[in-house]
Amino acid sequence: MFVQGIALTLATGVIWGLVGIVYSKAAEKPDGFRLFLAVSSLFFALVIWGTAPPVGAPSLSVLTIAAIMVPAGIMSQLGFLALREAMRRGGHGVSWGIAQSAMLCPFVGGVLFFGEPLSAWRAVGMALLLGALIPLASASRSSSVTGRRNAFLGFAFLAFALIGLQQTLTLIPNQLSEIGNAALSWRIPLFSLCGLGWFIPALVRRESGFRSILPLALLYGALVAAGQWTVFRAIDLLSGVGAAGIAYPLAIGASLALFFLYSEWVRKEKNGFMGACGILLAVLGMILLAF
């Protein structure tokens, strides 16, 4: 069970790295971003409800899951919108690094509220991850547009807060003894519906660029669906051995390293020494959190 959970966690990391790359491509486009979010959310929902529909469960349990997953889904959507605003004002690699360091939040939540063990390695990992935010913020001096650094950092840390809270909320259903497997099957389907609201501002604004964003939206939706399935399955397996808290550190550490290499080698971003140090500290911290 533990080995399977780790394997699925690492697979999630690769998938999330690809999610970041597709997202970065979409964030570069001048028009149609909300349309991108809406279409990708629709495709994500269709994939989830078509391949892994929820099963019958007690109404109260389903409502409990909805009360957790719907706010989590909304926070995720707003968090990634804030991330796009950060990317518009600064480097994609640094933006992604700050936002994905939000996995510190579910780790702290797991220790404080769900009885996850706090070893010396994990304490050091938490310190490294928290410390990584300092060089990442410093790296924004070279990666952000002149005169827009404060706005860049503001949106990057807003994404950090929203995504961190969303990740913490997703740990709660597994900790509720009254919630059975049938009710847990509603987590991802309910989560998948939260991005459909983007159709309203996209239509009101009459956003253009549908043809250019369609391939990216479909690919993004498919990757998000795959990543959600693998991470929740990993959490299920690791929860059985009291190690659910390591799912996000390992997965996000892998995705962070993959995306940073993409920003350096493909996007040719000048993240500098501080940016590299920040990413290295974050990845190392995430690895230590898994012990």
pLDDT digit string (tens) for the chain, length 291 residues: 777 778 888 899 999 999 999 999 998 887 788 889 999 999 889 988 998 889 888 899 899 999 999 999 999 999 999 999 999 888 888 889 899 888 788 878 888 877 777 788 888 988 888 888 888 877 665 555 545 667 888 899 999 999 999 988 988 888 887 888 899 999 989 998 999 999 998 888 777 777 888 899 999 988 988 887 888 788 888 877 777 767 777 888 888 889 988 988 888 887 777 888 888 888 888 878 767
Count Cβ atoms within 10 A of the Cβ of residue 52 and give its class: 0-12 exposed, 13-18 middle, 19 or more buried: middle
10 Å Cβ neighbour count for 214?
16
Please, are residues 42 and 200 in contact by the beta-carbon 8 Å criterion? Answer: no
What residue has token string 């410390």? 131
The per-residue pLDDT for 5 is: 75
The per-residue pLDDT for 151 is: 82
List alpha helices for 149-209, DSSP H: 149-169, 172-175, 181-184, 187-192, 199-204
The per-residue pLDDT for 162 is: 96
The per-residue pLDDT for 148 is: 65
Please, are residues 1 and 240 in contact by the beta-carbon 8 Å criterion? Answer: yes
The per-residue pLDDT for 74 is: 94
Could you give the 3-state DSSP secondary structure of residue 17? helix
What residue has token string 């991802």? 188
Longest dimension (CA), the chain: 55
- In angstroms, rounded to a whole number, what is the distance separating the alpha carbons of residues 126 and 108? 8
The b/e string for 236-247 (b: 16+ C-beta within 10 A; e otherwise) is: bbbbeeebbbbb
Token pair of 186 as six digits: 């509603």
